[in-house]
Amino acid sequence: MERFDVLVVGSGSGMTIVEGAINKGLRVALVDKDPLGGTCLNRGCIPSKMIIYPADVVQETRRAMVLGVKATIDEIDFKAIMGRMHESVDHDRHHMEESVAKVPNLTYYPVQSEFVGDYKMRVGEETIEAKDIFLVSGARPEIPPIKGIEDVPYLTYRNIFDLEAPPKSMVIAGGGYISCELAHFFSALGVEVTIVSRSPTLLRHIEPEIGSTITRALNTRMSVLISTEVKSVTETRGIKAVTVADAKGEKTIEAESLLIASGLRGNADILKAEKTGVKADDRGYITVNEFCETSKPRIWAFGDATGKAMFKHVANREAELVWHAYDNGHRQALDYDKIPYAVFTCPEVAGVGLTEEEAVKRHLKYLISIYPFSDTAYGDAMGDKEGFVKMLVEEETYKILGCHIVGPQAPILIHEVIVAMNAGDGSAYPLLDSMHIHPALSEVVQRCVWRLQKPGHKHT
């Protein structure tokens, strides 16, 4: 039985641990049945943004008429878009594969694995043992109990990038990040898209004003069914008949493709983590403390495997903190109240920190402001009628509690707030005191701070 100093399960953000351990001269085992690079590189952030950016260009061209620009789109080359994406992803993955093969003291197991005892794992036909273990095993699509789903081919984020041609029509079950981003892409291609969401708005975990804005905006380009659930599905001659139900009753939607984007679950059950003493919840997410330590000494878990804040930048930061704790004993907890996020749909969404609902639940005294893009010179020049910034700060200290943005360039605009929250006392005063270029869209963030008032105050 091979024995290692370190075992890393997962080749996404887990590679931070692999690199650190190799540099210390430790013997390392890397286990991942999926392609090197993890979800972000192969099935998530990178491929999705490679195809979504062309959709942004399409949508901007279509709305150019509002600005007095008459533009037409002659053709959208699906194969070219997907080919460009695959070329980029394959290049990065192949570079990783070549590098891993050359690293001394690193053994890579690209096979299905599961634990068979304390600190022991079966990898293919072998069994290995490690002194210290890091579980960065990600998550997988959770398939809801839809009647007939086991007999009908469907798409998830894991296989949708393998499409060779766009369908003429698509039903998307789910109203979260993945749903909104991919709906934006396929709609831009001319696919007849129907989103079916059980929640009263899309993106239900963010500010309701933003969820309502996204629901309304996407509903102008596709069919958005809210407070609706997919009940059953059948297929006849390649056409899916998807039966959905809301408070008014049931109806059936026909489409060529069905995309399931209704949630994720952890992989602890596949790993049989309990056999090495690691506890997980009923959705397969590994239970950890504030330092990413599991219930078993010398076993850590982070990233999507824990289900906490499922973003690549969070997993990367967790990896850094875990490594520092392992390497030099300096344990530091990540402040999940300052996690930023972005949704690359149209309009774009971004935010950081608490929502207003969370502030209320914590009984915080706060000030609040909502400022529209259209009330700035550049927002008016863009002709934007939907975008706005929502800001929450602590009443006495002006400490930023949260900021949420919907509109063009939202993932860029949010960054000055992220920096302000993590610098100095974390207050909004630097946003007020810093000179902002006029007329630039970033003025909308500063002006939102200008307008802070107690909840319930009506601006006149």
Residue-level pLDDT at 460:
47
Distance in angstroms (rounded) separating the CA atoms of residues 307 and 286: 8
CB 17 within 8 A of CB 136: yes
Q: How far is CA 302 from the centre of its chain?
A: 15
For residue 275 the two structure tokens come to 């056999």
For residue 232 the two structure tokens come to 């059953």
Residue-level pLDDT at 457:
65
CB 350 within 8 A of CB 410: yes
Residue-level pLDDT at 458:
61
Distance in angstroms (rounded) separating the CA atoms of residues 307 and 315: 11
Q: How far apart are the first and last CA of the chain?
A: 74
Task: Please give the positions annotated as active site.
Answer: 438
Same fold, 2-141+265-336 and 149-262: yes
Element (H, E) at 74: none
β-strand pairing of 169-173 with 192-196: parallel
CB 198 within 8 A of CB 229: yes
Only one residue has tokens 């299905």, namely 112
Tens-level pLDDT at each residue, the chain (460 residues): 999 999 999 999 999 999 999 999 999 999 999 999 999 999 999 999 999 999 999 999 999 999 999 999 999 999 999 999 999 999 999 999 999 999 999 999 999 999 999 999 999 999 999 999 999 999 999 999 999 999 999 999 999 999 999 999 999 999 999 999 999 999 999 999 999 999 999 999 999 999 999 999 999 999 999 999 999 999 999 999 999 999 999 999 999 999 999 999 999 999 999 999 999 999 999 999 999 999 999 999 999 999 999 999 999 999 999 999 999 999 999 999 999 999 999 999 999 999 999 999 999 999 999 999 999 999 999 999 999 999 999 999 999 999 999 999 999 999 999 999 999 999 999 999 999 999 999 999 999 999 999 998 665 4
CATH number of the 149-262 domain:
3.50.50.60
Burial class (CB in 10 A: 0-12, 13-18, 19+), 97: middle
The 3-state secondary structure of 227-296 reads CCEEEEEEEECCEEEEEEEECCEEEEEEECEEEECCCEEECHHHHCHHHHCCCECCCCCECCCCCCECCC
Residue-level pLDDT at 33:
95
- How many C-beta atoms lie closer than 10 Å to residue 165's C-beta? 8
β-strand pairing of 388-394 with 366-372: antiparallel
- How many C-beta atoms lie closer than 10 Å to residue 377's C-beta? 12
Query: Largest alpha-carbon pair distance within the chain?
Result: 74
Q: Give Cα separations from 240 to 95, 124, 148, 168, 234 (angstroms).
A: 40, 37, 11, 12, 6
Say whether domain 2-141+265-336 belongs to CATH 3.30.70.260: no
Pick the CATH number of 347-450 from 1.25.40.10, 2.60.200.20, 1.10.600.10, 3.30.390.30: 3.30.390.30
CB 202 within 8 A of CB 193: no
Distance in angstroms (rounded) separating the CA atoms of residues 345 and 91: 26
What DSSP assignment string belongs to 386-454? S-EEEEEEETTT-BEEEEEEESTTHHHHTHHHHHHHHSTT-BSHHHHHSPPPTT-TTHHHHHHHHT-B-
Residue-level pLDDT at 456:
80
Q: Where are the domains of the chain?
A: 2-141+265-336, 149-262, 347-450
Distance in angstroms (rounded) separating the CA atoms of residues 25 and 336: 33
